[in-house]
Structure 1
């Protein structure tokens, strides 16, 4: 439970309302002493919040200051709430990108690698497979349609999941006969197809 700073340090003059809508106040003049006090309760509250987040993400404070591109708190959030390459079911009627969400519809389109470096690092099939058409998705290309494959291409070609269902990986071939050799997004041949049976019978007595 976060601290109600009004209760912890006493009423804050000219605040905007009760917690959590209170705001801090600057001093009216240097040395006036009428600003919001920065007290142990505030430090403990903030530290406890961040430490719990790092603990849940399995991280230990590095001892270095937070910085753009090397924030442990961001890394902790990423570990707790979704990693690059994770597939989620989206039931919304709008494209999640239009809502400001860092989710991409899987429609076989190309996205700029520079805009999604973490995703690119997580799902790219590798330079050795980039030219292999047997890997129809997650390769690099010079164009957004994916026609010109190039390991140094600026586009990452996404998978196309429209009309498909999610299937769990079966490396021991228990339920999927090709599970150990299958690669994403291979298509499985029909498991249920039309076929005939011949029934032999003596017509006598029918």
Structure 2
């Protein structure tokens, strides 16, 4: 594990730096420029609030190929019946703050702090970070956000206030962009995303796909 210099925006190359748990570096800062550089290299920050910043590149990597998404009969019916409405980039900060306050099973806190929110809002203004919203009766009931590097969408977090909201949004936008997004980086394994087609691939395969992108 490498300790980063807050004055120097650099990282060890994750292709040549291995760790048993995927932790590559510690420290640095959450400036938009560093975040953007990290995602281009295949790194992402993940740590508990109040701790030092931890930068990860796990091996294997949990991803989803859009053309392999699994849609159940019940979800097909929800989408067909137009239970929800969908928008994108309409309320980025609100989506992120909802992700921050969401209670997560087996997790005491959140890595989404005010500094991270401010930096992601700047990345959103630069066109690098995007939000996807799910509405019901004019109320925001679900959504997710992330960073787009070329044709790779790096999903950060999602939330749902009513049953199936985030799942419907994820399926809707993954299907909509299946000819644009080559890959969705899910980062960390979850049963929820595995049920939709997420799977593990070797880190080197993910990094090779990422290197082919033109941010």
Determine if the TM-score, normalized by the shorter chain, exceeds 0.5.
no
Higher relative contact order (CA 8 A, sep 6+): 2
Q: Which has the greater radius of gyration?
A: 1
TM-score by length of 1: 0.23
TM-score by length of 2: 0.22
